[in-house]
């Protein structure tokens, strides 16, 4: 499918139940929404389910979308709400065999090495990613959501505050808190990478 739509056209077609437009919507946004969901939940299957639910919600509720914000903003808002409000999370987790994000099977997340080939750099990068996930799992989900919306989505403090219904000062303090926790967890890696600057 090589169709391309303006946002207004896309919304109009979605309201008519156009399947092509819906597939276009899924392909266009699924990666971004998955990144947000994974950043908050740190669980692949959970993120998969959440993104699926988001698109189903959009399909059912597109008639209520008043276009006061962009479609992208609306989608991200639904995703964050789904992540923070989901009640079935633990039920699903118990139903499945739980696999830790630190397990070897889940962890070969390739952190692209800046210089490409150095095995030690790659190894350190993998350890850093493991440390990052470990540290992120230790912070409350609300704080993690702020971190993800800032670092992954590049949203401003005002946008984050509006979407999460918190004060701008709370966004600042939560970001600071998460960064401090991450720095503590990744101290060795960060020292190794930045030691030369002092």
Partner 1 sequence: MKNDHRRCDAEALSRFLDNEGGAQETDRLRRHLETCGACRKRLAKQRLLSRLARKAVAGETARADFERLEAAVVSAVHRQRPYAWQHFTGWIPVKKVSIPLATAVLAGLVYFFVAVQRPGFRAPSAIINSFTGPISSVMIIETPETRQTILWFDENSAATDDDKAV
Where on the chain is the footprint of partner 1 (CB under 8 A)?
Answer: 15-17, 19, 22-23, 26-27, 30-31, 34-35, 38-39, 44, 47-48, 51-52, 55-56, 59-60, 62-64, 109-112, 128-129, 132-133, 147-148, 150-152, 156-157, 172-173, 175-176, 179-180, 182-183, 186, 190, 193-194, 197-198
CB 83 within 8 A of CB 37: yes
Cα separation of 51 and 41, whole Å?
12
Nearer to partner 1, 15 or 142 (CB): 15
Residue 18 is given by DSSP the state -
Nearer to partner 1, 26 or 84 (CB): 26
How crowded is the C-beta side of 102, counted as CA atoms within 13 Å? 10
Cα separation of 119 and 28, whole Å?
35
Nearest distance from residue 176's CB to partner 1, in Å?
4
Per the structure block, which two tokens stand in for 175? 């970001």
Nearest distance from residue 119's CB to partner 1, in Å?
17
Cα separation of 188 and 90, whole Å?
33
Cα separation of 57 and 119, whole Å?
44
Per the structure block, which two tokens stand in for 101? 């994000």
Closest CA to 103 of 41, 46, 152, 42: 42
Cα separation of 128 and 66, whole Å?
43
């Amino acid at each position: 499918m090589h169709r391309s739509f303006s946002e207004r056209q896309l919304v109009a077609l979605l309201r008519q139940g156009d399947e092509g437009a819906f597939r276009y919507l899924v392909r266009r946004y699924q990666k971004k929404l998955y990144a947000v969901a994974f950043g908050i939940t740190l669980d692949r299957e959970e993120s998969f389910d959440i993104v699926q639910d988001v698109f189903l919600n959009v399909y059912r509720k597109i008639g209520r979308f008043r276009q006061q914000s962009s479609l992208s903003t609306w989608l991200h808002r639904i995703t964050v709400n789904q992540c923070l409000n989901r009640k079935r999370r633990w039920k699903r987790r118990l139903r499945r065999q739980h696999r830790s994000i630190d397990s070897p099977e889940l962890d070969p997340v390739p952190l692209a090495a800046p210089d490409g080939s150095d095995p030690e750099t790659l190894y350190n990068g993998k350890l850093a990613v493991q440390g990052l996930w470990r540290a992120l799992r230790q912070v409350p989900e609300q704080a993690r959501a702020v971190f993800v919306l800032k670092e992954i989505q590049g949203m401003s403090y005002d946008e984050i505050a509006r979407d999460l219904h918190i004060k701008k000062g709370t966004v600042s303090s939560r970001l600071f808190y998460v960064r401090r926790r991450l720095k503590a967890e990744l101290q060795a890696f960060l020292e190794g990478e930045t030691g030369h600057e002092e």
